[in-house]
Amino acid sequence: MRSTYGAYLAGWANVNSGQISADPANYGAASWQFQSEKGATELSYGFIGILDGWWSFSGESALGFWGAMHTAAVNIVDDPAIGDYAYGALLESTADGAYSISPRDGLAQRINVMPAGKLGIELEGARYTQAQIARDGSRISMTLAPVADGEYEPVVTLRNLANGTYTVAGSDDPVVVEDGTATIEPGTMEGEQLLTLQLADEPTQPTDPTDPAGPGTPSNPGSPDAPKAGAGGVEKTAASGSDARRLSTTGTDAGLLLALGLASVLAGTAAVIRVRRRRRAERSL
């Protein structure tokens, strides 16, 4: 995850914020790559303009940004050196030991909790501003918010849940999980609203024996610290309490293969360019 996160972030350095061009018209534009020679010669791509070592062509950089948008996520891991760590978020621990997540990945629509059986959460039609997740994945609370002005209809997809019956605060319809997955559509919302999913019984083994067993023993459903919702299963929510303990800051990533593939393409392109230059230099001699 450490190297993957670095690869995920690398492409964003090619977006001009003044380090490539001071011309306001070029702010937000992307360079294809940085040329360490800081100048084109007759043996290289002389038709490409150079801005202080940066190519003035965007090339395939847009493909990398497209992949990065599909990669952006909050990833919580149990690092062997430092313990709990969040890539793409500020991570704290509540009084009852749950993860308290403040997203910083720029998208705020995906969470992957590796210690909780690789629990995955993905939002469509909404984003989240704060989340609390029990360490075993038995309780999930998210403050949902619109991605644009007006009403919105969020869809919440969960993967690698422990099988069992879950309740959605304010709803009379339980969510029965038999294959580790669930989709929740809470209906039309407006503004920030709290959505809470709670495991109501003992988890069971997934029906597919090759599937990860998922989270283990559920936390105490009657905990006084558990978020509560009003009518309709939603309520206005505030920032996490002062009892939270800071564990880590910064981070991101979910698409391991995508990010590594992008890094490999960039490295391969640079290698091909070096070989071509060397061959041209040998022919000129």
Distance separating alpha carbons of residues 190 and 266, to the nearest angstrom: 43
More confident residue, 121 or 1: 121
Q: pLDDT at position 71, please?
A: 86
pLDDT tens digits, residue range 37-77?
776 555 566 778 888 888 888 888 888 888 888 889 999 99
Instruction: Classify each residue of 128-156 as buried b or exposed e, where b means 16 or more C-beta atoms within 10 Å of its C-beta.
Output: bebbbbbbbbbbbbbbbbbeeeeebebeb
The beta-strand segments (E) located in the chain are 50-51, 54-55, 74-79, 83-87, 89-93, 99-103, 110-113, 119-124, 127-133, 139-145, 155-159, 164-168, 175-177, 182-184, 193-199, 245-248
User: Is the CB of residue 216 less than 8 Å from the CB of residue 162?
Assistant: yes
Chain-centre distance for alpha carbon 202:
29
pLDDT above 50: residue 191: yes
Q: List CB contacts of 63: < 8 A, sequence separation 6 or more.
A: none
Q: pLDDT at position 37, please?
A: 72
Residue 218, both tokens: 């559920």
Q: pLDDT at position 242, please?
A: 35
Counting residues of the chain whose pLDDT is more than 90, the rounded percentage is 49
| Residues 124/127/131/133 CA torsion (nearest 10 deg) | 10
pLDDT tens digits, residue range 126-162?
999 999 999 999 999 999 999 999 999 999 999 999 9
Q: pLDDT at position 68, please?
A: 86
Average model confidence (pLDDT) across the chain:
77
Q: List CB contacts of 194: < 8 A, sequence separation 6 or more.
A: 141, 142, 143, 144, 169, 227, 229, 234, 235, 236, 237
Radius of gyration of the chain (CA): 23
**pLDDT-based confidence at residue 6 (cuts at 50, 70, 90):** confident
pLDDT above 90: residue 194: yes
User: Is the CB of residue 155 less than 8 Å from the CB of residue 125?
Assistant: yes
Distance separating alpha carbons of residues 137 and 109, to the nearest angstrom: 18
pLDDT tens digits, residue range 217-259?
333 333 334 333 333 333 333 333 333 333 333 434 444 445 5
